[in-house]
Chains A and B, each alone.
Chain A
Amino acid sequence: MSLVGFPHIWSKNSSLAFAQDGEIKVGVLFSLTGTTAIIEESLNKATLMAIEEINANGGINGLKITPVVEDPASDPATFAEKARKLVLSDRCVSVFGSYTSASRKAVLPVFEKQENLFWYPTLYEGRECSKNVIYTGAVPNQQQDDFIPWLVEKFGKRWYLIGSNYIYPKEENNYCKKLLEGLGAEVIAEEYVPLGHSEFSSVINKFRSEKPNVIFSTVVGDSVVALHRQYRAAGLDPATMPMASLTTSENEVAAMGGDAAAGHFTSAPYFMVFDSPENQRFVEAYRSRWGGDKVTHFVSESAYFQIHLFKQAVAKLAASDIGPLAIREAVKGEEYKAPQGLVKVEPENLHCWLRPKIGQCKPDGQFEILTQSADWLEPNPYSAYPNQKCTAEGLKEV
C-alpha cells in the first residue's frame, strides 16, 4: 500500500472544457438553513433571479447558465465541504456565495488551491488580497470616507464606538479612528460586546452618562435588533445622539421594526429606495419573482450585479477558453450599470468601485437617501494601513 499518494488525481477531469453541452455550470452557496439563513436566502434569491434573467435573454453567447445550489447550513465546515463538491465534483467555473467572513475564510483554501473563482457579495473588513475572489461588497474606506466627516460636521466630535467582539468591527473601527483623528474628533469609548449579545442596558446607561454626539455601531446580527430596540425603549433621541451603522440594512430594519430604527443612519452603496431605472427594474423583478413584501438591500444588490459582471466577463471569451482564471482576467476593469449606479471591477485588487450613499431610516422601514458620493469610490482593502497595498501580484509593501 503506497503512502505517497496521488496529489494530482483530480486532474483526470482537467481535459474537459468548462462549457459543455451548451451550458456553463456555476455554484450557488448560500445557507438555506441555520442561523444566517434569513439573510442568505435573500442572496440566494437575488443570485438565482439574475441567472434566470440572463438565461431568458439567450444566455451567454448561446450558453445557458446552470446554477448548482447547495445548502451549507450556516456552518463553516459544511461551507468547505459544499465548496469542494461544487469545484471538484460538479466542476463549476465559479461559485457565488457566503455571507459571513468566517464562512468565506473556510472556503478560501478550496478556491486558492484548486485555482477556481469565488464571488463574495458582502461588505467586509478588508485586509484580504486573494487572487481567487471577486469582492463585490464594500470595504471600510468606501463606507466611511464620506460618512464619518459628514457625521462629525452634522453632530459633533465626541464619538462612542460600540461593536461585536470579532474582527470585522475591530477593523472598521481601526479605520474610523484614523479618520476621526484627522478630523480632530475624540473617541470617548471603544467597547466590544460578545457576538449574539442582547442585553444592552449597561451600554445604554453609558450612552446616557457620556452623552456622545455619535454612536458608531458595528454590532451585527441579532444584537443589532436588541441594541436598537433597547435604545428606543430607554427614550434616547436619535436627533441628538444618533447611531451610525455600516451593517443596518432594510433587512435588519424589517426584523427590528421601523420605529426602533427611525432616525438612525447607515452608509451603504445601495438602498432599496434609490431612484434609478435599473433599481426600479431590480426591485420590481425581485418582488414579482419572490413576493411583494420582500425587501432588497445592499448585499442582495451585490449578489445580483455580480452575476451580470460574470456574464460580461464570460461573454468576452471563446467557449473553449472559458475557465475560472480566464474569467478572472476578463472581469478586470469590467463595468456594469447596477441598481446602485455604474460599478467597476478594480483590476489590481479584484474589489469593486462602488457608489456610497448616506441613508436615514424612516418609521416605514425604508431609508431616505440624504447624500451620495459625487463619483464612484475606489476600493482599498488596506485603507487603514497605508504602507500596504493589494496589487495584481499580491500584497505589496509601499
Chain B
Amino acid sequence: MSGKVSRQILLYGVVCLAILIVPVLVDDAFLLNKYARYLIFGMLAIALSLSWGYAGILNLGQATTFGLGSYCMAMFLKLKTVPIHTGSDGLPDFMVWNNVTELPWIWVPFHSMPIALLAGILVPALFAALLGWFMFGGRIAGVYAAIITLAAMVVVNLIIIDQQSYTGGFNGITDLARFEIFGLTFDAYSASTYYLVAICLTVTLFLALAVSRSKTGLILQAVRDQEERVRFFGYDVALYKTFVFALSAAIAGLAGMLYTIIMEFASPTFLGVPLSLSIVIWVAVGGRQSLLGAMLGAVLVTGVQGALSETEAFLETWTLVMGGLFVLIVLFMPKGLAGAFEALVRRFPKAERKGGARHATEQTSKSQPHLGGAL
C-alpha cells in the first residue's frame, strides 16, 4: 500500500515539476499565457474529478463557482483601475453608464485585497455548501442533482446579465488593473503569472490527492458506490457530500480568480453552459477517477482544440472534428485516458502484483451502474 502511495505521489510530483519548468524552455509571452490558461482548465477538471469521480456527484454547473471566483477578482481589480470617465475616486465605468451614483454595498468590501481573495474562494464554497445542503440533505442524487446544478448556474448567469448596474451585464467587467501582491506585478503575459498558476495548480492537485487518500476520501468513494450502506453504518452522508461539493467549488473559485488575471476581464460566459459541459468532457476524456488524468485531460483537450481551430484546413470544421473525437473516446475508452493507461500498465505482471491499478479499476467497474444512472 505504501509503495503504491509513494509511487503515485512521485508520478504527480514529476508532472507538476514538468509544468513548473515550462517557462525555462518556452520564452514566448503568447505561449506562456496560453499554457497558463490551459492549466487553469486543469484545475477546474481536478475540481470536477473530486465531486464526480470520487463522490459520484455529477456537477453540470461547475462553471458557476468558477465564474463567481472570476467576478470576485474582477471586482477587486476593477476598483484598482482609474476610471477614465470619472477620475481616480470615481465609480467603475459601467456603473456610470447605468446611471449608478454611489458604489453599491456589495462592491465596498472589494477595495480590500485580503477580503477579495478570501471571497473568491469562500463565496463559491458557501454557495456550493448551501446548494449541497439543500440537495444532499433532501437526498437528491444522480440525474436530479445534475439538473439542479445546471439550473442553479442558469439562474446565477441570468442574474449577472440582468443586474448590469452591479455586474456589467452581458459585456462583463472589463478594463482591469494588473494584479499586484507583495510588490510583484502579475502581467498576464509574464512568466511570473505562469508560475502563479502552476503553483496554485500543484497545491490544488496535492490537496485534492490528500483528501482523496484520507478517511473522508474513502467514505466518499463508498458513498459513490453504495450510498445506502454508508448511511446504515451511521455516517452523515449529506455532510460528506456537501463537504466535497464545497471543496470542489473552492478550487473552481481559485481557478476563476486566476482566469481573470490571465484573461484580463470577467464575462457571464465564464459561468455558461458551454464551459460547464466542456469541463465534463475534459474529465471524461482524462478519466474521472484520476485527479491527474482529469487534469491532463483538460490540458490535452483544450490544447488540441486550440491547435485544431488554428489549423487552416479545420477552420470551419474544427468543432465537428472535436465532437467526433469525443464520441470515439467515450465509446472506446469509457474510463478515459487514465483508465486506458492503467489498463496498459496492468499488462505488466509486476505492476499487477502491486495491485494499484487493479484496485482503481475494480472501483470503477463497481460504480459503473451508479454513474450510468447519473448520466
Contact = CB atoms under 8 A, between A and B. Distances in A.
Contact of B172 (A7, A81, A105): A105
At the interface, is chain B mostly helix, strand, loop or mixed? Answer: helix
Interface in A57-92: 69-71, 73, 75-77, 80-81, 84-85, 88-89
A84 B98 contact: no
A165 interface: yes
Contacts of A81: 34, 37, 306
A228 interface: no
Given A3-B195, A10-B30, A81-B306, A170 B97 contact: yes
Interface in A163-183: 165-167, 170-171
Contacts of B316: 32-33, 71
A166 B169 contact: yes
Interface string A1-44: 11111110110100000000000000000001100000000000
Contact of A89 (B30, B161, B176): B30
Interface in B89-131: 94, 97-98
Given A32-B316, A70-B310, A84-B33, A3 B184 contact: yes
A77 B263 contact: yes
Of the listed residues A73, A106, A394, the one surrounded by the most CB atoms of chain B closer than 10 A to its CB is A106
A46 B191 CA distance: 39
Interface in B180-238: 184-193, 195-196
A395 interface: yes
A105 B265 contact: yes
B20 A395 contact: no
Interface in B243-273: 263-265, 267, 269-270
B170 A102 contact: yes
A108 interface: yes
A292 interface: no
Contact of A108 (B94, B174, B195): B174
A71 B309 contact: yes
Interface string A383-398: 0000010000011000
A101 interface: yes
Interface of B: 20, 27-31, 33-34, 37, 84-85, 94, 97-98, 158, 161-162, 164, 169-172, 174-176, 184-193, 195-196, 263-265, 267, 269-270, 274, 306, 309-310, 312, 315-316, 318-319
| Shortest beta-carbon contacts, A-B, top 5 | A5-B192, A88-B30, A10-B29, A5-B190, A109-B264
12 contacts: A2-B191, A9-B189, A70-B310, A76-B269, A85-B30, A88-B29, A106-B265, A109-B264, A113-B264, A127-B97, A165-B164, A166-B171
